[in-house]
């Protein structure tokens, strides 16, 4: 009996030992070899990680004013397992959020523990939902990008998506630095998948960015551009303001504009940054590059004479017409009055290889490297792809396309004395108080200081007496160039006769340029010349920006020009009488029969068809009563240099008919309507 009992105890004990050994072995196996696997499975069942949008860095203007920031807002989410009547909850929330009730019910049905209802809602919506006191509805703070100035500099700043990823502008190009790391919300659930607690990870804020943009100058540029668009009914346009001495962009205005806070409601074509993405044929503003190149190479001097052949020239079988039938002009006058024929002759003298090298040197046909997405390199075909007539087309701003940022950077090189600087939009990036990125591009010399100074002097005359008179700012000297470029008609592939890009580019003050300003208007309605369309926008921006920057007036001696500029009178398509009064000093010098030395004309025989013998004199013919063409032909035949003011018939001339002068002498001729003779008019009044 006792032996039987002992046997049973031994059996039971042995079974217990084996069972315990098996359990211990299993537990040891699970703990030592399967621990990570089962921990992950447990976490997946009990926790859910929800990514919360990060706190993006602040974007400041150059003076520390906030242009883009992130603010905390409420996002609404639900624990569907706590909601007994999803249909009712859907109907109630639908009225507050403007979301279809069916969509809310679908979100609730997709998960038992967590479901986003609406993210980044307004404070008013959050308050109304809280007032409903619905079981299973909760709130979580998220960061939302906010642009306090709404449309101001929107194409530069860009915008973000719901998860705070940058999608355009600086928000996109510097997204990795600005965005920072997103925070995470951990949602815990019990065995029945009921939400019972949540915790948040620490926020890692992104870096702050300081732009070169000045908020006030940006506002001035956008306001002037909007006024110019309203006046000309153009489809769109850009105004870019740059510091020529540093390359920093002070304003980049584009129209149409959009609100970065609600960018998704605007079509994609409106959200494009025209200043870096739109490439267009520049037209006559590109002539400043040609003249800089020609003067730098020494192939012409400002006083050299060019025969503009009464407004037409044939280049490799292609007939090109000028905008006005000019005769003999000096090189200076060719640019002042924007003669296409004269410009083409200079380009032919320069030669295609050298001209191409200078165009490349000024930065065309390549990216500028500005920190903005979608930059267009423009179009500059390799030299071996130029046709025989390409040099003539490019000389007048055709067969080449540029972006506003490229064009203003090249023009700033002339303004600052001949050095090309990379355009900057980002001044520095800050991680806390530490500067992690600071722009310091090295300038590159493209022309010498003397050449740049000479071109500036000529461009000043464009604004004083040439095609750019409407751009003259009140109280300040300015230099610039107008441009009127035909657009390509997509339907025919030819140049349109109705759609133009009208532009003006210039800088002020002349002797110490503080700002370079480019104005481009896309397809203005009615008048399309760059002077009367884009010129007044330049004038308005220059006046206000220079005053804002406390730049002292440097042009108090031109009251007539200022009055005409204030009235914003429209220039006629000739040597308009609008600038007659401002040409007084030149008229006085011309009336004193100041000759051009014979050697200056003879030094460029291909630019003039007049043969001059030293010491020879000619008699000034009677020009009164003749047309512009007649006066030009008569003067050209004798080797005289006509200075034409106004249009119509000749009413007055200086020197008088019969005066003996040297060939090359300037002859001032005032034109007007026949009725003007009775009133003593000489081409207009100021």
**Can you give the pLDDT at residue 201?**
52
Res 592 pLDDT > 50: no
**Can you give the pLDDT at residue 208?**
94
Going by C-alpha positions, the residue among 458, 511, 488, 494 that lies closest to residue 343 is 458
Per the domain annotation, does 145 fall within a domain? yes
More confident residue, 181 or 534: 534
Per the domain annotation, does 39 fall within a domain? no
**Domain span at 640:** 582-679
Token match 């400043």: residue? 288
Quickly list DSSP for 290-345: HHHHHHHHTS--TT-EEE-GGGEEEETTEEEE-SS---EEEHHHHHHTT-HHHHHH
Res 183 pLDDT > 70: no
- Place 133 in a pLDDT band, splitting at 50, 70 and 90: confident
Res 686 pLDDT > 70: no
- Place 604 in a pLDDT band, splitting at 50, 70 and 90: very low
Both 365 and 385 in a single domain?
yes
Give the range among 85-89, 419-423, 547-551 with minimum mean pLDDT: 85-89
Both 237 and 287 in a single domain?
yes
Q: What phi and psi, each to the nearest 5 degrees, are found at residue 551?
A: -80, 125
Model confidence pLDDT, tens digit, residues 620-654: 999 888 887 778 778 767 777 676 666 678 888 88
Q: What phi and psi, each to the nearest 5 degrees, are found at residue 277?
A: -100, -30
Per the domain annotation, does 554 fall within a domain? yes
Q: How far apart are CA 249 and CA 156, in angstroms?
A: 11
CATH number of the domain to which 474 belongs: 3.40.710.10
Strands 66-78 and 59-60: antiparallel
DSSP-assigned beta bridge partners for residue 442: none
* Domain end marker among 571, 602, 624: 571
Both 202 and 243 in a single domain?
no
Both 435 and 409 in a single domain?
yes
Alpha-carbon torsion angle 411, 416, 422, 425, nearest 10? -90
Distance of CA 34 to the CA centre of its chain: 61
Both 308 and 408 in a single domain?
yes
Tell me if 498 sits within 8 A of 565, measured CB to CB. Answer: no
Average pLDDT along the chain: 81
Res 291 pLDDT > 60: yes
**Can you give the pLDDT at residue 234?**
93
Tell me if 329 sits within 8 A of 609, measured CB to CB. Answer: no
Per the domain annotation, does 162 fall within a domain? no
Both 411 and 496 in a single domain?
yes
Quickly list DSSP for 164-187: --B-SHHHHHTHHHHH-BPEEEEE
Pinpoint the alpha helices (H) of 98-147: 101-109, 123-132
CATH number of the domain to which 69 belongs: 3.90.1310.10
**Can you give the pLDDT at residue 51?**
66
Tell me if 109 sits within 8 A of 117, measured CB to CB. Answer: no
3-state SS, 4-23, equals HHHHHHHHHHHHHHHHHHHH
Tell me if 142 sits within 8 A of 119, measured CB to CB. Answer: yes
Residues making up the chain, counted from first to last:
686
**Can you give the pLDDT at residue 419?**
95
Span 407-415, average pLDDT: 96
Token match 């809280």: residue? 130
**Can you give the pLDDT at residue 493?**
77
Q: What six digits make up the tokens of 192?
A: 């029945």
The structural domain count of the chain equals 4
Per the domain annotation, does 686 fall within a domain? no
Model confidence pLDDT, tens digit, residues 17-35: 778 877 787 777 667 766 6
Strands 479-488 and 495-508: antiparallel
Model confidence pLDDT, tens digit, residues 504-514: 999 999 988 99
Both 253 and 390 in a single domain?
yes
Tell me if 288 sits within 8 A of 481, measured CB to CB. Answer: yes
- First CA to last CA distance, the chain: 141
Going by C-alpha positions, the residue among 426, 446, 59, 449 that lies closest to residue 246 is 426
Torsion sign across C-alpha atoms 547, 553, 554, 555 = positive
Res 169 pLDDT > 60: yes
| Residue 203 per-residue DSSP state | P
Class of residue 226 by CB neighbours under 10 A (exposed 0-12, middle 13-18, buried 19+): middle
- Place 38 in a pLDDT band, splitting at 50, 70 and 90: low
Res 287 pLDDT > 90: yes
Both 374 and 465 in a single domain?
yes
Per the domain annotation, does 161 fall within a domain? no
Cα→Cα distances 505→136, 412, 520, Å = 62, 10, 9
Tell me if 215 sits within 8 A of 63, measured CB to CB. Answer: yes
Res 340 pLDDT > 90: yes
Per the domain annotation, does 173 fall within a domain? no
Q: What six digits make up the tokens of 425?
A: 């939009």
Per the domain annotation, does 389 fall within a domain? yes
| Residue 550 per-residue DSSP state | T
pTM of the model as a whole? 0.73
Q: What phi and psi, each to the nearest 5 degrees, are found at residue 98?
A: 70, 20
Token match 């303004």: residue? 415
* Domain end marker among 535, 550, 571: 571
Both 324 and 472 in a single domain?
yes
Both 636 and 600 in a single domain?
yes
Residue 477: HSE in the Cβ half-sphere, 13 Å Cα cutoff: 16
Both 437 and 335 in a single domain?
yes
Alpha-carbon torsion angle 607, 611, 617, 620, nearest 10? -60
**Can you give the pLDDT at residue 190?**
52
Both 195 and 290 in a single domain?
no
**Can you give the pLDDT at residue 46?**
53
Q: What six digits make up the tokens of 529?
A: 């010349």
Tell me if 231 sits within 8 A of 224, measured CB to CB. Answer: no
């Amino acid at each position: 009996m006792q032996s039987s009992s002992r046997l049973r105890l031994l059996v039971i004990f042995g079974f217990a030992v084996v069972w315990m050994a098996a359990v211990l072995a299993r537990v040891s196996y699970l703990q030592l070899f399967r621990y990570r696997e089962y921990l992950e499975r447990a976490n997946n069942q009990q926790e859910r990680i929800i990514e919360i949008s990060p706190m993006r860095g602040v974007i400041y203007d150059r003076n520390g004013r906030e242009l883009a920031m992130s603010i905390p807002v409420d996002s609404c989410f639900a624990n569907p397992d706590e909601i007994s009547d999803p249909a009712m909850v859907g109907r109630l929330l639908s009225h507050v959020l403007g979301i279809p009730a069916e969509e809310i019910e679908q979100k609730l049905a997709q998960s038992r523990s967590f479901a986003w209802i609406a993210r980044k809602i307004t404070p008013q919506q959050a308050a109304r939902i809280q007032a409903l006191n619905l079981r299973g509805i909760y709130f979580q703070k998220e960061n939302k990008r906010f642009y306090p100035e709404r449309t101001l500099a929107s194409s530069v700043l860009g915008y973000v998506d719901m998860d705070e990823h940058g999608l355009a502008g600086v928000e996109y190009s510097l997204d990795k630095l600005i965005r920072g790391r997103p925070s995470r919300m951990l949602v815990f659930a019990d065995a029945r998948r009921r939400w019972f607690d949540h915790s948040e990870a620490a926020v890692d804020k992104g870096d702050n960015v300081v732009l070169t943009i000045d908020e006030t100058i940006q506002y001035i540029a956008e306001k002037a551009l909007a006024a110019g668009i309203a006046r000309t009914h153009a489809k769109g346009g850009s105004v870019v303001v740059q510091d020529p001495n540093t390359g920093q962009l002070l304003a980049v205005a584009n129209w149409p504009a959009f609100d970065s806070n609600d960018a998704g409601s605007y079509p994609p074509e409106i959200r494009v940054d025209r200043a870096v993405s739109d490439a267009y044929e520049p037209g006559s503003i590109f002539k400043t590059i040609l003249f800089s190149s020609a003067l730098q190479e020494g192939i012409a001097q400002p006083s050299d004479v060019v025969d503009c052949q009464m407004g037409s020239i044939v280049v490799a079988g292609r007939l090109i017409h000028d905008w006005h039938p000019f005769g003999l002009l000096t090189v200076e006058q060719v640019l002042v009055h924007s003669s296409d024929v004269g410009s083409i002759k200079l380009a032919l003298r320069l030669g295609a290889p050298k001209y191409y090298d200078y165009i490349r040197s000024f930065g065309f046909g390549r990216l500028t490297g500005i920190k903005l997405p979608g930059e267009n390199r423009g179009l500059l075909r390799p030299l071996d792809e130029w046709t025989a007539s390409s040099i003539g087309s490019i000389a007048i701003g055709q067969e080449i396309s540029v972006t506003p940022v490229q064009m203003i950077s090249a023009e700033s090189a002339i303004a600052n004395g001949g050095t090309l600087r990379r355009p900057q939009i980002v001044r520095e990036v800050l991680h806390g108080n530490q500067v992690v990125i600071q722009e310091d591009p090295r300038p590159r010399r493209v022309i010498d200081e003397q050449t740049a100074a000479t071109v500036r002097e000529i461009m000043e005359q464009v604004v004083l007496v040439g095609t750019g008179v409407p751009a003259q700012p009140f109280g300040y000297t300015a230099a610039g160039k107008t441009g009127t470029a035909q657009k390509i008609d997509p339907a025919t592939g030819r140049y349109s006769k109705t759609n133009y890009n009208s532009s003006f580019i210039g800088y002020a003050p002349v002797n110490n340029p503080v700002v370079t300003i480019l104005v481009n208007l896309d397809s203005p309605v009615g008048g399309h010349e760059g002077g009367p369309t884009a010129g007044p926008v330049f004038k308005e921006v220059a006046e206000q920006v220079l005053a804002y920057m406390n730049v002292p007036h440097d042009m108090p001696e031109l009251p007539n020009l200022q009055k005409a500029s204030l009235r914003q009178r429209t220039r006629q398509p000739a040597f308009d009488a609008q600038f007659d009064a401002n040409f007084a000093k030149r008229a006085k010098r011309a009336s004193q029969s100041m000759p051009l030395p014979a050697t200056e004309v003879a030094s460029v025989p291909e630019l003039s068809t007049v043969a001059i013998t030293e010491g020879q004199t000619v008699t000034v013919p009677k020009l009164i009563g003749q047309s512009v063409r007649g006066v030009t032909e008569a003067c050209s035949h004798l080797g005289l240099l006509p200075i034409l003011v106004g249009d119509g018939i000749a009413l007055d001339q200086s020197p008088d008919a019969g005066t003996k002068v040297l060939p090359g002498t300037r002859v001032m001729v005032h034109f007007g309507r026949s009725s003007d003779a009775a009133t003593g008019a000489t081409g207009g009044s100021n």
